[in-house]
Amino acid sequence: MSSLPEESGPRTAPAQVELLDRARYPDGLVATLDPEVGERIGAAPGDAVLVRTGAGHEAVVRLAGSPLEDSCAGILRLDALTRRFLVARLGTDVEVAACQPRESAEVGLEVDTAVERHGAEGLRERLHTHLREARTPLVRGAALALPVGPLGSQVVVRVASVDGVGMVAAHTDLRLAGADLKELTHPVNAGLADVGGLGTAVEELREVIQLAITRPEVLTRLGITPARGVVLHGPPGSGKTLLCRSLAGELDAAFYYISGPEVVGSLHGQTEESLRAVFSDAADHAPAIICIDEIEALTRNRRALSSHADLRAVAQLLSLMDGLRRARGVFVVGTTNQVELIDPAFRRPGRFDREIEIAEPDERARLEILTVQSRSMPLSAEARAALPRLAEGTVGFNGADLAAVCQRAGLAALRRITARGGLRGAEGLLATSEAVGVDDLVAAKAAVQPAGVRDAHFVTVPPRKLAGRTPALDRLRQVSAVALGGVGNEGSAAGSGVLLTGRSGAGKTATVATLARELGLRLVVVTGPELASRWLGDTEESVRGLAKVTKRMRPSLLLLDHLEAMAPRRTEGRDPGDIRIAGQLAAILTELTSTAGVMVVGATSQPELVDELVLGATGLRLRVDVPLPDDEDRAAILAAHLEAIGAELPENDQRALAELADGLTPGDLVLAVDLAAALARGTGRSLADSLAHELSDLAVRPAGRQRQEAHR
């Protein structure tokens, strides 16, 4: 292979290796370079560039357009396989120069044995076409991840033979051979290319650890003591452990994994001995990253501990963290979803210097995760184009949930394929026209329940179409912008929730569900009895957990249904437990109504029974009433539900039935239509007569008469 040119040849320039966004640049051996550096060496997007490390390792890449933020930064972004080939971790200084690959007469590629065994001829043609059209530069030993599998899925190949720096042309003889490429397709330490949707957390973690590993002299000159510990906290499945392991792989650091509960020994002093052994081994193999998963099991607040063994383990870990000052290049990353349980002695500078929150991914982050998780799947063109819509509709899904969606979609496709040709014919069908389709993704999304709402207290309600005029919905639309903005927005409703009142069956839940659908909010519904527990403190804990879940699901809309059962009005002789629950509910309402991206609505049919503390200045102080429908609205509701069940009545009959249903709620009308349809099918009576009978029956019941009198 050619080396970098001498002074008489093309110009060279220094650059610093950084991470390439694999979701944005899925092709192999594509890189981006600071335009200023490219101008100095005479290379523009589309040109080939030779990269050389200080250790003499060389690779050739084809330039793509550079991100704007890299201008004048001297950054060369490379994908994980190229960095591994160059033995260059993030932050490594390299030299770059323009080069001109030559058309090769013969190129040999290695593919994984399983891929080569099935459909090698079709793969060879796709590889030849892709490499020729992309003008991909090739050097011996380089690995590439190319979208040449069935329907655009990625396949990893390695260049086995090529003359110098070459590229595939129309006359090139491309030869394939099977090889064991597990070290490329399933590396022990995954790279950051396998992490999607954690951009902010990645940057923070790299800021703390990467500079101390790659440029310790810079910190020394500035008089900065490197951080020794970081806590990653967030909900289960958000990618905390994956991020820690991936960063260790990118920085070529030794990785030590400790599971908090597993390190606890049964013998006297065994826990402390295990911790000392890990820290000692890490110091001997620096740079090293020690990941302590579920760290709260080892660092629990000592005031809550009763066992001397647990107290000794906490003290030992504190001592080892202090000892890291003498062990250069060793870092501790703890992961937890209960950061509040960690002893305060750990949460100070010098031990765990940073606490980085792994929040729920937003729409852009969800798209990155879906792109990373599906890059090796044979998605149809329609399914790949539907990924942005899927990301938009998966509010509240974390990284593990989205990975499960992709896995379920793949299994759905597999079931469909095996039903046609069995397992033996599955691989052949996948190599031709079968793929994971849009229907598979939609069905998978519906089957996966987000981790944040798997608790029985937090359930979601599908939105329903409202008919007739909706004054309550119109009012909620008006106050939603201010309510979702939280404290700091202009308007008198800032920091306030909404109390939705109306008779049972008036459509309060359906109104809120429609609002959530229109605004793209995750709807979380909690009913009063679901929070109740016979154990002391359990109900209050559920209320506090309600605040955590709602904030984690942002943007979200929390509906407290049957509010009078959660916080009944204080009366003489009232249970002290109810008073504690009302106080806790008022506290979380204060917190949630002042949080941007969260809207809180309480619903009740008996507002006079709700505790005044919950309806106070920091609670649900905006009141919106859901009125009973008038004749015109009742006619529209009847027509809409008749259409939903595939029935139809003349307009005159609908108006007459609407007048007959005076005083009934939308829930009564829907029930009457369902009962009338069943009665008409069973007795042969007309639908109009059956519906008139059911409406009259509902209207004369005691509850119906009370509603009618109150309405009049």
> Could you state, in order of their start, the residue ranges of all structural domains in the chain?
15-100, 103-179, 192-357, 363-447, 471-485+494-625, 631-700
Please check the confidence at residue 187 and state whether its pLDDT lies above 50. no
Q: Tokens 């970081």 map to which residue?
A: 230
Section 472-491 average pLDDT: 70
Range from 188-202, 383-397, 551-565, 568-582 carrying the lowest mean pLDDT: 188-202
pTM over 0.85: no
Whether 227 has a pLDDT exceeding 70, the answer reads: yes
- Segment 584-595 mean pLDDT: 82
Joined tokens for residue 81: 């396989």
Instruction: Please determine whether the domains at 192-357 and 471-485+494-625 fall in the same fold group of CATH.
Output: yes
Give the bridge partners for 156, in sequence order: 145
Rounded average pLDDT over 13-40: 77
CATH topology of domain 192-357: Rossmann fold (3.40.50)
Let me know: does 190 contact 249? Beta carbons within 8 Å: yes
- Residues 272 and 313: beta-carbon distance below 8 Å: yes
- Using an 8 Å Cβ cutoff, are 61 and 49 in contact? yes
Share above pLDDT 90 across residues of the chain, in percent, rounded to a whole number: 2
Res 573: pLDDT? 58
Burial of 80 (0-12, 13-18, 19+ CB in 10 A): buried
Res. 9 pLDDT band, cuts 50 70 90: low
Chosen CATH of 103-179 out of 3.40.50.280, 3.10.330.10, 3.40.190.10, 1.10.3720.10: 3.10.330.10
Asked if pLDDT for residue 27 goes beyond 60, the answer is: no
Q: What single string gives the DSSP state of each residue in 532-587?
A: --SSTTHHHHHHHHHHHHHHHT-SEEEEEESHHHHSBPP-TT--HHHHHHHHHHHH
As assigned by CATH, the class of the 471-485+494-625 domain is: alpha beta
Tens-place pLDDT, residues 699-708? 765 444 444 4
Residue 117 pLDDT exceeds 80: no
Place of tokens 């190319």: 146
pLDDT for residue 613: 79
In this prediction, residue 490 carries a pLDDT of 40
The tokens for 146 are 């190319």
Largest CA distance in the chain: 102
Determine the Cα angle at 694 with ends 692 and 699, to 5°: 95
Residue 608 is given by DSSP the state G
Q: pLDDT at position 488, please? A: 42
pLDDT value for 464: 59
Tokens standing for 369? 């995760």
Asked whether the predicted pLDDT for residue 126 surpasses 70, the reply is: yes
Q: Where is average pLDDT lowest: 113-117, 321-325, 469-473, 642-646?
A: 113-117
Question: What is the spatial distance between Cα 268 and Cα 470, in angstroms, rounded to a whole number?
Answer: 69
Architecture in CATH for domain 363-447: Orthogonal Bundle (1.10)
Q: What is the pLDDT of residue 710?
A: 46
As a whole number, mean pLDDT of residues 227-253 equals: 81
Query: Is residue 656 predicted with pLDDT exceeding 60?
Result: yes
> What distance in Å separates the CA atoms of residue 624 and residue 473, rounded to the nearest whole number?
9
- 2 vs 282, higher pLDDT: 282
Q: What is the mean pLDDT of residues 172-178?
A: 86
Residue 625 — pLDDT band, cuts 50, 70, 90?
A: very high
Report the first-to-last Cα separation within the chain, whole angstroms.
Answer: 93
pLDDT at 11 over 50: yes
Report the pLDDT value the prediction gives residue 452, as an integer from 0 to 100. Answer: 61
> Given the structure tokens 């005479």, which residue do they identify?
42
| pLDDT number for residue 482 | 74
**Greater confidence, 400 or 29?**
400
Domain 15-100 has CATH 2.40.40.20: yes
- Asked whether residue 198 carries a pLDDT value surpassing 80, the answer given is no
The arrangement of secondary structure in 631-700, i.e. its CATH architecture, is Orthogonal Bundle (1.10)
Q: How confident is the model at residue 501 (pLDDT cuts 50, 70, 90)?
A: very high
